[in-house]
Amino acid sequence: MSEIVSETLREVTPRLEGGSYSILETLREGRLYLAEKAGKRFVLKTPASGDARSLELLKREYELSVGLSHPSLAYVFTYEDDTPVGPCLVQEYIDGRPLDRYLAEHPSARERRRLFDELLSAVGYLHQKGVIHNDLKPENILISRADDRLKLIDLGFADSGVHLAHSLGGTRGYASPELLAGEAVDARSDIYSLGVLLRTCFPHRYGCIVRRCLRKDPKQRYASADALGRALRRRGRLSLWVVLGLAVLLLGAFAHSYLSMRADLRESRARWEGLREAEAAQRSALEEAKAAIDAWYGSEIPAFREAMQAAVSRKELDEAWTGLVDRMFVINYDIPDSAPEAVRPAVRDYLLERYNAVFPDLQLEMIARSGELQ
């Protein structure tokens, strides 16, 4: 159980014992209620109708939800028969807005990518537990108002290892073809839905990745949420390589112009001395930039490794990695931008060299450490 959920349970469990719920508001579909008990807010989810089948499905949802613990999953605390609204699930209350409303606020590409990574993490966790969500859509993805963190909700249509023979439903436009056809589904059905959501978050990016997610034959899709995440990371690295490739071309063009200029300046002693001084200044600036890069790697990488080993949860591990990547993003732009224009391509080339020497091993260490914290 994650640290966040553990703290939530320590806080919430005493409030669930004794007393009664006060119904504050009726939420969507008329079967969700915002309630309060002992000063704590909850969401009460009731059966879709009053028949035995609906009650059976509600209990089944509780059986699938109980014990699941992930920072990006809404927590289901308990199932209760005796409440003001009858039998219900008692769920975590999230003060947030659905994904589509959040996207209407025009968040940055970086924020949208962070949220999609959180969604991939939650779905990947469900798949590891043998649970297929089967209803991934903006309405079931809440973004908290407090910190813009993602929470995945509603396992009402979910499948597990004992329920994979027949799907319960889904939402047209987001559900896979096999789910809508009532056929057996596996994790690749959720991959289809993730492809639709990826296109929703990034209408003009990741076209090839989206098309693979949306293939009609599940065997031709990504096999897992982790595989989809790796494809997105590779696409990000490819973009970096394109930028760096352009930098190398610019550096080559600069070198050609520089040599031509040196040949011309041989006719004038004064101009030759000026060129030597400029060349020395560039070398000095380049060495200064390299020293700053070396100092950053010499302090940040050991500190990250210490934080990675000290992490006691996947959340802390992810936060350490995100912090390192954020700081890496800053150094990749701040140091070249602060260097003279003439040496910026060489500085970026050196940044790429240091990155390639360190980050592949760090990623392997992250994977290993993540496995230890699983």
- Going from the C-alpha of 340 to that of each of 287, 330, 347, the distances in angstroms are 12, 18, 10
Higher pLDDT residue, 120 or 259?
A: 120
Look up the CATH number of the domain holding residue 13.
Answer: 3.30.200.20
Q: 221: which residues sit within 8 A by CB, 6+ positions away?
A: 188, 191, 192, 195, 212, 213, 214, 215
Domain final residue pick, 92, 110, 136: 92
Do 185 and 306 lie in a common domain? Answer: no
List pLDDT tens digits, range 346-359.
Answer: 888 888 888 888 88
88 and 114 in one domain?
Answer: no
Q: Which of 26-35, 172-181, 236-245 has the lowest mean pLDDT?
A: 236-245
Query: Do residues 330 and 217 share a domain?
Result: no
State what percent of residues in the chain have pLDDT above 70.
81
Q: Does the residue 229 lie in any domain?
A: no
Same domain flag for 86 and 100: no
Question: For residue 230, is it within any domain?
Answer: no
Task: Let me know whether 201 and 266 are in one domain.
Answer: no
Q: How far apart are CA 66 and CA 61, in angstroms?
A: 9
What is the model's pLDDT at position 180? Answer: 93
Asked if pLDDT for residue 214 goes beyond 50, the answer is yes
Q: Does residue 212 sit within a domain?
A: yes
Task: For residue 332, give both structure tokens.
Answer: 């990749």
Give me the helices (H) in the chain, please.
3-16, 52-65, 99-103, 109-128, 177-180, 187-201, 207-213, 225-265, 269-310, 314-338, 344-373
Which pLDDT belongs to residue 229? 93
Distance separating alpha carbons of residues 373 and 274, to the nearest angstrom: 60
Assess whether 316 and 355 both reside in one domain: yes
Contact between 335 and 292 (Cβ < 8 Å): yes
Q: Within this chain, do residues 158 and 253 fall inside the same structural domain, yes or no?
A: no
Same domain (yes/no): 112, 87: no
What pLDDT score was predicted for residue 29? 67
DSSP code of 35?
E
**In whole numbers, what is the pLDDT of the chain averaged over residues?**
84
**What per-residue confidence (pLDDT) applies to 224?**
95
Using pLDDT thresholds of 50, 70 and 90, give the confidence band for residue 249. low
Query: What pLDDT, on the 0 to 100 scale, is given for residue 11?
Result: 56
Quote the pTM value: 0.61
Query: Does residue 210 have a pLDDT over 80?
Result: yes
Same domain, 181 and 219: yes
Instruction: Name the domain count of the chain.
Output: 3
Element housing 96 (H / E): strand 96-98
pLDDT above 80 for 217: yes
Do 85 and 203 fall within a single domain? no
Closest CA to 367 of 308, 303, 310, 322: 308
CA–CA gap between residue 337 and residue 340 (Å, rounded): 8
Is 245 part of any domain? yes
pLDDT of residue 35: 93
Model confidence at 93, pLDDT cuts 50, 70, 90, reads very high
Per-residue pLDDT at 233 exceeds 60: yes
State the Rg of the chain over Cα: 27
Average pLDDT of span 135-145: 96
pLDDT at 206: 92
Buried b (16+ CB within 10 A) or exposed e, 285-321: bbebbbebbeebbeebbeebeebbeebebbbbbbebb
> 183-187, 195-199, 314-318 — which is least confidently predicted?
314-318
343: pLDDT strictly greater than 90: no
Give a yes or no: residue 228 inside a domain: no
- Cβ atoms 77, 92 nearer than 8 A: yes
Same domain, 113 and 198: yes
pLDDT band at 135 (very low <50, low <70, confident <90, very high): very high
3-class secondary-structure state, position 268: coil
> Domain boundary residue among 193, 223, 253?
223
231 domain residue, yes or no: no
Beta bridge partner(s), residue 42:
35, 92
Q: Is the predicted pLDDT of residue 173 greater than 80, yes or no?
A: yes
For 67-88, write each residue's pLDDT tens digit.
899 999 999 999 999 899 999 9
What pLDDT does 369 receive?
Answer: 84
Residue 242, pLDDT > 70, answer no
**Per-residue pLDDT, 185:** 93
pLDDT at 223 over 90: yes
Query: Using 50, 70 and 90 to split pLDDT, how confident is the model at 255?
Result: low
Minimum mean pLDDT range among 51-65, 238-252, 322-336: 238-252
Tell which of 178, 200, 223 closes a domain. Answer: 223
Domain that holds residue 24: 3-92
